[in-house]
Structure 1
Amino acid sequence: MGGADPVVVDVLLADHPFEGFLDPVRRRAEAFGAAHPEYEIRISTYRYWTPTGREDFVRILDEGRVPALVDVFFIETQTARDAVSATGGPLFTPVERALAGRREVLGEKVVVDDLIDAARRYYSQDGELVSMPFSVSAGLLYANMTMLRAAGITEVPRTWEELEAACRALVRADGGPPHGVTWAVDGWFFQDAVCQQGGVLAEPANGRTGRARTTDLASGEMLAWVTWWQRLHEEGLYLYTGAPQDWVGTFEAFTEGRVAFLCNSSVMAQSVVSAGAKAGFEVLARGLPHRDAVPHAGHVLGGDSLFLAAGLSPEVEDGALAFLQFLLQPEGAAAWHKASGFMPATHGSLRLLEAEGWFAERPHHLEAPRQLADSDGSPAATGALLGEFWHTHADLVRAMGDVLERGADPVRRFGEATVAAQRRLDDYNARTARRQAERGPGGGSGTD
């Protein structure tokens, strides 16, 4: 391009409340610019996890003008698919459609076919990859093995029933903890509990064969989870910290020895293991326990993906697509895993880390890939897509708070939550239909 100014590719990323969290991505952007001096990757950020973060994110989409690449939290996937541009068309275009079968872009090898299966399925529609998985996580069960062995327990529980039995043994043991297990009251765990039992949160087929029209927060699978959780709480086996989404408080309860088990994100694996070692006990990580009474379907993922803006110039679009591939080359995906704790998003990065001996030295990092690979590939195991999913999570959290704090009847309370979530989903779908009618024909990346 000679002396011409570089083509700017603007990227909007979700920042996390950890110092230097996005520094590795900024370094990858600089490396991409060095390899492609005709391009400049320009990164800006937003905070989804602040009190107004979700509203700020939705406002960005509603304005209808976005950077070339936008980082979208997984429960906002349907929101992004349905977003409309200022010119009336879809705000985003599917990544795989833009790649148009190419094997490389600007010399960067296309890696969409190398994505781990769970992430590929979650972010696809009708077999077409819509957005690029960037940060992928799973829930894990962390066990204080020093405490378990003292109580005569040698294996980490694999099922709800085994976990309950282990918690009973622990709290009754001399010198045992006051409670057995804890986890944050967060929508993610409700999703996973329903998913692993082969249940769905929305119909049709979890929003995977068409737009989600109905939601049920009081299904048999949901109530099995909620009533089991309620019993653990009432019998003193589960520690409720008294606050919703208390990831910090539950983490501290585990590291301080007030419980022997912690359910938390795989992103926290190194932090949990290191905190245990500092406190003088050994930590083992395993997949979240599943319900023994039904066939195991799989587990839901967490994290976020990168959406490609529609209507970009060919030069900018190619730069954005090339940067996506560059980010997720084996070396890039492996580096992001090491720095952030999110699991490797491609098979190539998993193989690279294994060859380096990374997992042999840190086996806790291999549990999340194993958990997501243990899937029957069904819509239930793939995970739900529906509008206003963030609010649905909030409905679940409030309902469980009432069950734990005020002894509310789960059937009645989660039935009420279903009514509220359904009303909101109906309103969302009606608004979306109006927007699509106003923009006229032309398709989009949403599910109709």
Structure 2
Amino acid sequence: MSKRIDIDIVVPLYPFMPYFLDRTRELAETFTAAHPEYRIHVTGADWLSVPQAVADAALKDGAPTIAQYFYTSTQDALDARRPDGSPLFTSVERAIAGRTEILGEPVVLGDVTATARQYYRHDGAVAAMPPLTSTTLLYANTTLLERAGITEVPQTWAGIEAACRAVAALPDGPAHAITWPNHGWWFQQSVAQQGALLADHDNGRSGRAERVYLDSDAMLAYVEWWRGLHRAGLYRYHPSRVNSEVDWDGNFRAFADRQVAFTLTTSVEAARMAQAGRDGGFTVQTCRMPYNDRVPYAGNVIGGDALWLAAGLDEATQDGALAFMQYLNSPRIAADRHRETGFIPVTGGAIDLLEQEGWFRDKPHFRTALDQLGANAGTPAAQGALLGEFAAIQDVLTTAMHDVLVTEVDPRVRFAEANAQAQQLLDHYNEACRGLRPRGPVRVG
């Protein structure tokens, strides 16, 4: 046999789910058994360090063929460059070039759920192939709610507040009624739901984001609602390390131990939440994330990550990489990945297969995330923002919210400060992209 064609792929290592490295290696072996002309090398890097690891490799002319970036690093991927200044990645959709199969593998990019495709659409084409998507959901202890006289889980901010007050009025009820982690995803979701933007140029979609809107009316409406729940004793706040680390497990335990009636967390937790109810002797209902009904609902945004294709590959290597991407999202594999991880099934084919197998009939708590994302209006607000230093900007938001919850600071004043801090981060990032200053972290004041 002639020399095999090498494909290198870097996948993120998530501390909460070590599944992906080993599973991707297994699937690479299955793929290469059917395509023996290829050899796939799968390595992992800490999920937040993937962009830097790939950038370092590119400087040494060793960039991977495929890199899997977390969604907050999308702008990093779009801006990644080789030493000669050329783009490190190319559009997956343009590389597919309208083909319906590659090396015998059916092309499924067009079958990826609309909200996921929209998030990764840039410059008129889908830039990357998302294998993992998620969203934020509300989980309700309906056994406790029924004791409080609530027979239908509310979907709006006002409805949730009223339900929380009813739970708090129970003579033997929990000390608090609702909890969720102080995490940057919630701000993105709530602003998007209200049809508002996090950044200019249509959330960075009609041009590079240059201004941030962290102190918008929509942001402050959410912050004030959150603070109001906390001040009324309805919201349980439990930071892990003051304001820099999210206590996901503490959030889960509060719900599982019946310390609250509601919690908000990722859709990936649906199975765990349902099991907590079974273990604790209460019924759990999975519901859409509550929204502000004073303005039209625009949609919730995704989380997850995507596969980015290196630019400048020879035809054989590029086709092998594209075929492997399609294989990773083929209906059976995508359906099994959903079953095994809780991430949303990412293609219509996978959803249809799960429907045929009775998965959603038997486990309806997995259907809620699909329905929520299916209600996305597809506007720039609902698509979600493309931002440089997105993860750091999320931290600015969570620090500001921590201060609002634990001090007497005026939310409008504190979030104006947060906006200025985030603007510094974005300015530094954009100037680095233009070659006006070195890349790297910037201290904000």
Q: Where on the TM-score scale, by shorter chain, does this alignment land: which range?
A: over 0.9
Q: Which residue, 86, 101, 104 being the options, matches 1:107?
A: 104
1:91 partnered with 2:114: no
Q: Where does 1:358-437 land on structure 2 (aligned, <5 Å)?
A: 358-434=359-435
Instruction: Report deviation, 1:57.
Output: 3.5
Shift in alpha-carbon separation, 1:17–1:385, aligned structure 2, 3 A = same
Q: Using the alignment, how far apart are the partners of 1:104 and 1:39 within structure 2? A: 17
Partner of 1:145: 142
Partner of 1:16: 14
Q: Which residue, 214, 219, 234 being the options, matches 2:216?
A: 219
Instruction: Report deviation, 1:20.
Output: 4.7
Q: Using the alignment, how far apart are the partners of 1:174 and 1:183 within structure 2? A: 24
Q: Could you tell me whether the CA contact under 8 Å between 1:24 and 1:339 is conserved in 2? A: no
| Cα RMSD, aligned residues only | 1.5
Q: Using the alignment, how far apart are the partners of 1:333 and 1:59 within structure 2? A: 27
Instruction: Specify the code of the residue in structure 2 equivalent to 1:434.
Output: G
Unaligned stretches of 5+ residues in structure 1: 437-448
Partner of 1:36: 35
Q: Using the alignment, how far apart are the partners of 2:248 and 2:291 within structure 1? A: 21
1:247 partnered with 2:245: no
Q: Using the alignment, how far apart are the partners of 1:28 and 1:146 within structure 2? A: 42
Q: Could you tell me whether the CA contact under 8 Å between 2:51 and 2:77 is conserved in 1? A: no
Q: Using the alignment, how far apart are the partners of 1:330 and 1:242 within structure 2? A: 40
Which string of whole-angstrom CA distances, capped at 9 and with x for unpartnered residues, describes residues 144-187 of structure 1? Answer: 11111121111111001111100000011122111111101000
Q: Which residue, 5, 8, 12 being the options, matches 1:7?
A: 5
Shift in alpha-carbon separation, 1:18–1:435, aligned structure 2, 3 A = same
Instruction: Report deviation, 1:281.
Output: 1.1
2:435 alignment partner, SS class: helix
Instruction: Report deviation, 1:191.
Output: 0.3
Partner of 1:272: 273
Instruction: Specify the code of the residue in structure 1 equivalent to 2:105.
Output: E
Report how many residues are paired.
429
Q: Where does 1:126-137 land on structure 2 (aligned, <5 Å)?
A: 126-137=123-134
Question: Which consecutive aligned stretches of 4+ in structure 1 deviate over 6 angstroms post-superposition?
Answer: none
Instruction: Report deviation, 1:222.
Output: 0.1
Q: Using the alignment, how far apart are the partners of 1:336 and 1:59 within structure 2? A: 26
Q: Which residue, 192, 195, 206 being the options, matches 1:198?
A: 195
Q: Could you tell me whether the CA contact under 8 Å between 1:24 and 1:336 is conserved in 2? A: no
Instruction: Specify the code of the residue in structure 1 equivalent to 2:19.
Output: F
Q: Could you tell me whether the CA contact under 8 Å between 1:95 and 1:132 is conserved in 2? A: yes
Instruction: Specify the code of the residue in structure 2 equivalent to 1:37.
Output: P
Instruction: Report deviation, 1:358.
Output: 0.3
Shift in alpha-carbon separation, 1:25–1:63, aligned structure 2, 3 A = closer
Partner of 1:446: none
Instruction: Report deviation, 1:208.
Output: 1.0
Instruction: Report deviation, 1:422.
Output: 0.8
Q: Which residue, 156, 160, 164 being the options, matches 2:157?
A: 160
Q: Where does 1:285-304 land on structure 2 (aligned, <5 Å)?
A: 285-304=286-305
Q: Using the alignment, how far apart are the partners of 1:126 and 1:90 within structure 2? A: 14
274-283 vs 162-171, greater mean Cα deviation: 274-283
Instruction: Report deviation, 1:345.
Output: 0.6
Q: Which residue, 205, 209, 213 being the options, matches 1:208?
A: 205
Instruction: Report deviation, 1:82.
Output: 0.3
Q: Could you tell me whether the CA contact under 8 Å between 2:51 and 2:73 is conserved in 1? A: no
Q: Using the alignment, how far apart are the partners of 1:392 and 1:287 within structure 2? A: 25
Which string of whole-angstrom CA distances, capped at 9 and with x for unpartnered residues, describes residues 210-237 of structure 1? Answer: 1111001000000000011001001111
Partner of 2:66: 69
Q: Could you tell me whether the CA contact under 8 Å between 1:62 and 1:83 is conserved in 2? A: no
Q: Using the alignment, how far apart are the partners of 2:263 and 2:306 within structure 1? A: 27
Unaligned stretches of 5+ residues in structure 2: 438-445
Shift in alpha-carbon separation, 1:43–1:401, aligned structure 2, 3 A = same
Which string of whole-angstrom CA distances, capped at 9 and with x for unpartnered residues, describes residues 363-385 of structure 1? Answer: 01111111111111110011001
Q: Could you tell me whether the CA contact under 8 Å between 1:63 and 1:85 is conserved in 2? A: no
Partner of 2:232: 235
Instruction: Report deviation, 1:409.
Output: 1.1
Instruction: Specify the code of the residue in structure 2 equivalent to 1:88.
Output: G
TM-score by length of structure 1 reads 0.93
1:434 alignment partner, SS class: coil
Partner of 1:319: 320
Q: Could you tell me whether the CA contact under 8 Å between 1:287 and 1:371 is conserved in 2? A: yes
Q: Using the alignment, how far apart are the partners of 1:357 and 1:153 within structure 2? A: 30
Instruction: Report deviation, 1:18.
Output: 4.1
